[in-house]
Structure 1
Amino acid sequence: MQTGPALVASPTPAVADRSWRGHWIGSRPASAGDVLGLGRDAEPAPFHRVLFRRTFAVDAVPDTVPARLTADSRYVLYVNGVEVGRGPQRSQPRRLCYDSHDLASCLRPGANVVAVLVTYYGNATAFWQPAVPNGSLGADATLVFEARVNGSWLVSDDDWRVHSSTAWTMPERAGVDGVPVEVRDARRLPHDWARADFDDTGWEHATVLGAAHIGGFGRTRPPTDPYGALLPRSIGELTGETVEADRVRRSYLPAAAEPVDHPIMAVRQVVDGHDRDPAEQTGFPVDLDPPQGQVSHLVVDFGRIVAGLVQFELEAPAGTRVDLLYCERPYVSGDDNPLSAPRIGAGYVARGHHDVFEALETNGLRYAHLVVSAADGAARLLRFAVRELLYPQIPGAYFRCDDAELNALYTAGVRTVQLNAHDAFTDCPTREQRAWVGDGVVHQLVQLTTNNDWRLARNYLWLGNSPRPDGILPMTVVGDIEAGGGFTIPDWSLHWVHGVYNLYRYLGDRSELLSLLPTVERILRWYLPYVDDRGTIADVPEWNLVDWASVFSTGRSALLTALWARALAEFAEIGDYVGNAGSAGWARGLLARAAEGFEDFWDETRGTYVDHVVDGEPQPAASQAAGATAIVSGLAPQERWSRIIDTITDPDTLVVRSWIGGNDGGYDPQKIADQIRGVQQVDWDAEREVVIAQPFFSYLVHEAVAQAGRAADLVTLVRRWSQFLVGGYDTFGECWGWGTPVHGWSSAPARDLVAYVLGITPAEPGFAAARVAPAPGSLRHLEGAVPTPHGLVTVQVDADRVRIVSPVPVVFVGSDGAEVRLPAGTQEIAR
């Protein structure tokens, strides 16, 4: 592996040219502003899409044509009808990023056109939050662009043509989890609008928008409020293969008497009550010729979860309507479970020619239900596909062994993270697409271990570094939840702190750490009002999720205390590394007090820690989470570690329980209502049984197992994830027995097999040295490679030897625990 910008470029590099030549432009005049110019009268526009065009001529195409642009909310850039790029990447509005592109390959001598489709969402979505408008900027679709063409500047200004399109609408009831539902009437959109030969003389001239607030001086070029200095893109370009569907079932069903406008509801309106009707298995193209009074119903199955832009080609009369419902599992008539019938989909009305649809919104799905209602006569669906848009998986890192099941688990973990790696780490690509600050730590660990591009792993920290005024982080960043404020999941901030610690271990960039440590300290200090006289955490408000498992965090909490203590220990270690001894000492003082009080949670009879203490009395409930966090935080004395692992991994006493999940594969509304009322029913033997961690929190359980010197146990423990890999699904689901079938937070086995079973981790910050501690257990052969800032570390373990190829020195740990330091290069050690 070559060291390069994919590993070492800062996620927030200095802006090389902060001032722009291009102007902010839009489709409507700016607001007049109030008397003081504070912009209080600027009402955000509703959802709409705006088309921008600028024609220009070149005598000869230069070798390079550097360009940069950004937009509020999202853009698609075309040059002579060819898509060049999409953006900007997800970010808070005052940290708006721009993208750089080279346009040369799309230009030709003579007339050319730059065309940009800009989406303005109006209301916050799962992945976009609106700016606070200043009377001119931040309340509507806006674009800034500049390119250097043969020594001259092509910039956004009032020479551009603009058209506010009526082709798109967004149903009032968009996705239940904030994912937009796209409806396009192609009759209102010229198919060739992005080509140079399109006649745009009937379009208006763009409006140049200036800052309309006191002190803004009408400035029309960035930097301006409410976006500030525009930042360069900090992550790679999303890419992926186009996946063609080849499995489709066709049936004809009665048309709805009064069709509804919402495409998802329209599909359900037709399908409900007809699930058991015969359906014919066929392939593409599909001829659709329903009897009078009926419509065509198609079910497309990709065989696995895919994520990206839905595409299809249609031959049909103008006005033919296609309603689409995207599902993770087949839709069952009348199902209101958002996991099998999520409110995601799209709608399309045919123009009667050039009916080639590609979605503008990213969606994840395995199944697509289509209801095709031809305006006049028959129709033909030529193809159906998804152009995947995922974060690039740069090759080099790998894992394989002589156990096919473990190989499949590694592959599934990588695929699950990739499906949840877009312009941020997301929980799932299907019904939600939010960037949760706790979930993302698992994605980060997997990417650091399995991908030669670490930029998104670092961007996770930059994006999450958006504290509330009181110092704690929102539960999700950039989108409707952060925009709305309100309560948060405090312990999610502690997982983000662990992400900072991961950055310290894997990259060791002092400058970057110094930019993050103030937020880390504010998070730790947020908990101080909840530290009791025993030094432990008690009575924390808001939503102390910890895990979807049935764990207790009320009263004095072992779980919250241990998570906080782990963060204190990590902050202290990083403080020493960057030369901040004062803060490190402060954290260690709190950690020492917590260790004394933490003894109150110890259950000597069971050999583990209980979840909580209420009114001075330890409660019997014990979980894997409590025992594991006791170890990884250092609060449990080392002599107890192996006994704790015995207790929390004993298959005879482990039980699966969740406060939220139901037995039907989805969330249980009654359990959620009980949670809100403070009712938590114990339906297991709390005196004897231990509640197993759900897939997310298992990353901590596995860390504890490895820290206790029991990494070989993971060869068995990770096999629990095989329950997800059935029915064609090749990804890990959200929870044991329920939830989405592709959830990024469940992907720890991919990291665990490399870091703990193969045994490759950093021995020193920034991988200045590597630690190799193989724990193959029953495996006879295993090998793999992990990325570092210095190149790949490759390890091969056989029955009689270990072979290591490393660009840095290696601390090798034998099966007896003895350590030996080896120089960089190729080494062979007898086992």
Structure 2
Amino acid sequence: MHAAVPSPSRTSPVVLRDPSWQGHWIGPKAQQPELAGFGHPVSRAPFGRYLFRTSFTLTAVPDSIPARITADARYVVHLNGAEAGRGPVRSQPRRLHYDDLDLAPLARQGENTLVVLVTYYGQANSFWQPAVANATLGRDAVLVLEADLGDRLLVTDDTWQVLDPGAWHIAAAEGIDGLPVECLDARMLPHDWKTGAPDAAWRPAHITPALHMGALARSRPPTDPYGPLLPRPIGPLGGARLTPAMVAAAPSAETAAVHPHPVARVRAHLGDPSCPAPTTAVFPVELAPGPGKDQHLVVDMGRIVCGFLTVDLDAPRGTRVDLMYRESPHRPGVPEPMSSPNTGARYTARGHSDRFEALEVNGFRYLHALISGDGPVRVNGIEVREHLYPRAGNAYFRSSDPELDALYTAGVRTVELNSHDAFTDCPTREQRAWVGDGVVHQMVHLTTSTDWRLARRYVELGNSPRPDGILPMSVVGEIEQSGGTTIPDWSLHWLHGVHNLYRYTADRDLLAELAPTARRILAWYLPHFTGDGVLSDVPEWNLVDWSSVFATGASSVVTALWARGLREYADISVLLGNHGDAAWANGLWERVRDGFEMFWDERRGTYLDHIVQGTPQPATSQAAGAAAIVSGLAPTHRHQRIIDRVMDPERLVTRSWIGGDGAYDDRKIGDELRGVRRVDWDAEEEVVRAQPFLSYLVHDAAAVAGRTAELIGAMRDWSAFLRDGYDTFGECWDWGSPVHGWSSTPTRDLVTHVLGVTPGEPGFGRARVAPAYGLLERVEGAAPTPAGLLSVAFDAAGIEVDSPLPYVLVLPDGQERRHGAGHLRLAFTADR
């Protein structure tokens, strides 16, 4: 079982970086080639979870044992029983990444055992999509590893061993979540599997070569269908170990009907009106399920958490624990909203050494456990090990207003819960990497964290266009794999994310890589660009926002978002020296500026949502007015009238085409699918309010117009989310997930529009400090820049700035002064 070969010539004794690997792809079984011919798919294995192991001997433990590893689809590696790493990060199959590890901290003198658990999902889910396989590779689980032991190289090959315990399976998906629901029968899994399970029936692993014309049966990366393996682009994930705020147990009740899906079984139990109510308990909790009787345990973590659940218990062999993760409390007699998560797990006890350690990341606040068995059960404890991308550095915001301070903190936490190996929509339900949603997460990262790698990763991962040039609405998963309907305007928000990196980093290499995709997105709209100079009848799902915004016919919102993209692409093109493309984009923008006038409503002082077959329609929205300002299409002299109209609280109405009254609305969704939209507000006098996502555009428009006071007033609406122990922002104003990353705009606003720190030049060649004077008694904070934190504190008496780079300071009277890096304390005179 020793897998060591003489070390080849390497340029670096510390880091393994050669694109040509020495390790082989190995799998759990020999692949029988399927030669179906060019363009014909081959079969794919179903879900499987396998253990691979090897051992090596060290005469002494070196200071470092660099290793690199990846797998299709996921791996967890243990050395001598302790976890050494897990991955890889989500990515399109042809851009598969590997991870660098250092095994030395877990190594010991003498014999060492390495065990790698590899998961193959079989079917696409919300965060993984299968490779387009060749005759062998891409059809089942594979693993590749190599480690520098100093005097030799440890590699994956056919001296490794594999065990298929058959202990795990995935419950059939229910609802729209797309998340795996793991079921573990611990009776089939050796209790000592992490240390190598010496008594288990291990078999030789199999080298899996690529088999296609030109592959020459190559079994070492780079190979089709994964291409050249790429280094991990972000740092490690991690987090604290969290314990429940409350535990409750219910007396035994009649056994719920057997159901193959654990969540469905728990839900059926909760839906039984005869179920006894749980009462407060403390760990260890003693339970007594028996024949025909289940026991119900409820846990409240006190807030939304996200990571790996652990349940430690003593239970008779065969005891079954069905778990259901919830984001909101169960209310007896109240029907479950369609949007309720269908996530959970099932654990079947082995009768000794029982400890369920989830391998799938899940977010929840409430945990319901339905315990079935024949004999007493003791639940010793429950905890969650959070698995999130950490916010780095000491950026902060504090003010004389506790409400605003709480909003800053809530936005940080909301984005943290949606920062994994990508920006996700919500941790409790989907965990999909939506191409549009992530622009808000990105802006929060850029303004609150000194580690911008995940902000870069957002646009790199999203850079995966369909053949026609537009982006999938969600990348890496079943949605991208299908290649089906997309949300075109999500691509325009992604382009805004590229422009954010232009402003914050001016990374020319990255921008040069992304610019061709940005241009193709803009060009995708050209067939819908009319002779009148606007976009009309754009197909697919023009979502814009969850609010009731009209985008049919000639659309002002879609046109303005496209125009913003044209201006942003022109900026990027100038930085890259591509003046031809800058002229192309600017020329189109000028044509839009002339045509956009058709949407202006002089009487109401704002822009209409849309015009259908030449007939102006009455509906107006915050989205239309705000998009006109931020795109530059609205003349400056109109800005104040637009903000007066679209931010007048007396005119605003909250409407959505698919939700309201606390939940998704099945009737509305059915109407939307049939093309039926009901205007149940006064479209002539009322303005449809943006939902939390597109509010970032509204707040930007208010800032452009110099209306920071209204912006701060609008931010306070987010305080409605912070109740009943929740410390995160929800998806929509009165329905949806209670933790949605796209809703975190106030945190960015407090840094950019109140503290006033933004890039004054691309890449922070010079910062700009333009505080919102006079609106709060005192404000202080620190914002990240490429050179370090830039700190600002101000009140009515003066301002203090400590900057690591040159900056422009805007004074209360509007004067702008240039300052070099360093510390400045400036008192305001009484007449200023």
- On whether the aligned pair clears a TM of 0.5, the verdict is yes
CA deviation vs aligned residue, 1:448-507 (integer Å, no higher than 9, x gap)? 000111000000000000000000000000000000111100000000000000000000
SS in 2 for 1:820: strand
2:76 and 2:225 map into 1 onto residues whose CA distance is 22
SS for the counterpart of 1:622 is coil
The aligned residue for residue 26 of structure 1 is: 27
Q: What is the alpha-carbon distance in structure 2 between the residues aligned to residue 174 and residue 225 of structure 1?
A: 33
> Match for 2:535 among 514, 522, 537?
537
Which of these residues, 725, 728, 731, is aligned with residue 728 of structure 2?
Answer: 731
Q: What secondary structure, in the 3-state scheme, does the structure 1 residue paired with 2:777 have?
A: coil
- Kindly, what percent of the aligned residue pairs are identical? 58
1:279 CA drift (Å): 2.0
2:355 equivalent in structure 1: 356
Alignment CA distance shift 1:275-1:509 (3 Å): farther
1:715 maps to what in 2? 712
Tell which deviates more after alignment, 136-145 or 25-34: 25-34
Distance 2:386 2:460 in 1: 25
The one-letter code of the counterpart of 1:698 is S
Aligned match of 2:699: 702
Q: Give 1:291 shift.
A: 6.7
Task: Indicate how the Cα distance of structure 1 residues 152 and 321 shifts in structure 2: closer, same or farther if over 3 A, else same.
Answer: same
Partners of 1:333 and 1:228 lie apart in 2 by 52
Give the deviation of 1:231 after TM superposition. 0.1
Q: How much does 1:15 deviate?
A: 9.3
Pairwise CA distance, 1:292: 5.8
Superposed CA deviations along residues 245-278 of structure 1, whole A, max 9, x for unmatched, are: 1411110243336412211111122222237733
Unaligned regions of 5+ residues in structure 2, if any?
1-14
Amino acid of the structure 2 residue aligned with 1:150: G
- Partners of 2:214 and 2:742 lie apart in 1 by 45
SS in 2 for 1:194: helix
2:795 maps to 798
In structure 1, the partner of 2:429 is 431
Does the Cα contact within 8 Å between 1:74 and 1:87 map onto a contact in 2?
yes
- Structure 2 counterpart of 1:420, from 418, 425, 428: 418
CA distance in 2, matches of 1:641, 1:216: 61
Task: Give the aligned residue type for 1:543.
Answer: W
Cα displacement string for residues 747-798 of structure 1 (whole angstroms, at most 9, x for unaligned residues): 0000000100110000001011111111144311111111111111110012
Distance of 2:440 and 2:774 partners within structure 1 = 24
By how many angstroms is 1:282 displaced? Answer: 1.0
User: Given residue 830 of structure 1, which amino acid in structure 2 is its aligned partner?
Assistant: A
Moved over 6 A (4+): none
| Superposition deviation, residue 331 in structure 1 | 2.7
Residue aligned with 1:443, SS = helix
State the secondary structure of the residue aligned to 1:305. Answer: strand
Q: Could you say if the C-alpha distance between residues 41 and 625 of structure 1 is closer, same or farther in structure 2, counting changes exceeding 3 Å?
A: closer
How far has the Cα of 1:333 moved from its partner? 4.8
Report 1:112-127 matches (<5 A): 112-127=112-127
Aligned to 2:236: 237
Aligned CA distance change for structure 1 residues 247 and 579 (closer, same or farther; 3 Å): same
Does the Cα contact within 8 Å between 2:486 and 2:541 map onto a contact in 1? yes
Aligned length: 814
Deviation track 1:568-589 (CA, whole Å, cap 9, x = no partner) reads 0000111111111100000011
Q: What is residue 6 of structure 1 aligned with on the other side?
A: none
Distance of 2:97 and 2:534 partners within structure 1: 41
Q: Give the equivalent residue in structure 2 for 1:639.
A: 637
1:721-750 deviations in Å (ceiling 9; x for gaps):
000000000000000100000000000000
User: CA separation in 2, counterparts of 1:464 and 1:603?
Assistant: 37
Contact 2:221–2:227 (CA under 8 A) maintained in structure 1? yes
Deviation at 1:677, TM superposition (A): 1.4
Amino acid at match of 1:266: R
Deviates more, 1:791-800 or 1:271-280: 271-280
Amino acid in structure 2 at the alignment position of 1:722: S
Whether contact under 8 Å (2:246, 2:299) holds in the other structure is yes
Q: Secondary structure at the match of 1:792?
A: strand
SS in 1 for 2:691: coil
Q: Please tell me whether the aligned partners of residues 535 and 593 of structure 1 are also in contact (alpha carbons under 8 angstroms).
A: yes
What letter is aligned with 1:636?
A
2:394 aligned partner, one-letter code: G
Separation of aligned partners in 1, 2:559 and 2:604: 20
In the alignment, residue 532 of structure 1 is paired with which amino acid? T
Distance 1:276 1:174, change over 3 A: closer
- Counterpart in 1 of 2:300? 301
C-alpha change, 1:572 and 1:385, in structure 2 (3 Å) is same
C-alpha spacing 1:111/1:335, structure 2 compared with 1 (3 Å): farther
Conserved in 1, the CA contact under 8 Å of 2:450 and 2:788? no
Matched, 1:53 2:53: yes
Q: Distance in 1 between matches of 2:36 and 2:751?
A: 63
Give, in whole Å, the separation in 1 of the partners of 2:482 and 2:654. Answer: 34
User: Counterparts of 1:299 and 1:257 in 2: how far apart (Å)?
Assistant: 16
2:157 maps to 1:165: no
- Matches of 1:391 and 1:720 in 2, distance apart? 28
Q: Say if 1:382 and 1:421 are closer, same or farther in 2 by CA, change over 3 A.
A: same
Letter in 2 for 1:534: D
Q: Secondary structure at the residue paired with 2:788?
A: coil
CA distance in 2, matches of 1:540, 1:332: 43
TM-score, normalised to structure 2's length? 0.96
Letter in 2 for 1:279: P
Letter in 2 for 1:349: T
What secondary structure is seen at the aligned counterpart in 2 of 1:642?
helix
CA positional deviation for 1:150: 2.7
User: Which whole-Å CA distance do the structure 1 matches of 2:510 and 2:67 have between them?
Assistant: 28
* TM value normalised by structure 1: 0.96
1:135 Cα deviation from its structure 2 partner: 1.3
For 2:238, give the aligned amino acid: T
Q: Distance in 2 between matches of 1:330 and 1:731?
A: 16
CA drift at 1:89 = 0.2
Is the deviation greater in 100-109 or in 324-333?
Answer: 324-333
For the residue of structure 2 that corresponds to 1:190, the secondary structure is: coil
Q: Is the 8 A contact 1:327 1:366 kept in 2?
A: yes
1:597 corresponds in structure 2 to 595
**Cα displacement (A) at 1:334:** 7.0
Name 2:201's counterpart in structure 1: 202
Q: Which residue of 2 aligns with 1:392?
A: 390
SS at 2:306's partner residue?
strand
Q: Distance in 2 between matches of 1:365 and 1:546?
A: 28
Q: Is the Cα–Cα contact under 8 Å of residues 16 and 66 in structure 2 kept in the other structure?
A: no
Please say if residues 131 and 225 of structure 2, whose CA atoms lie closer than 8 Å, have aligned partners that are also in contact: yes
Deviations 1:11-67, CA, capped at 9 Å, x for gaps:
xxx99310001000001112223276x594631100010110001211111111000
Name the amino acid aligned to 1:604.
E
Tell me if the contact between 1:558 and 1:601 (Cα under 8 Å) persists in the aligned partners: yes
Does the 8 Å contact 1:72/1:141 carry over to 2?
A: yes
| Kept in 2: contact 1:758–1:776 (CA 8 A) | no
Measured in 2, the distance between the counterparts of 1:25 and 1:681 equals 57
Gaps of 5+ in 1: 1-13
Q: Which amino acid aligns with 1:737?
A: D
Q: In the TM superposition, what are the counterparts of 1:330-729 in structure 2 within 5 Å?
A: 330-333=329-332, 337=336, 341-374=340-373, 376-663=374-661, 665-729=662-726
Partner SS, residue 193 of structure 2: coil
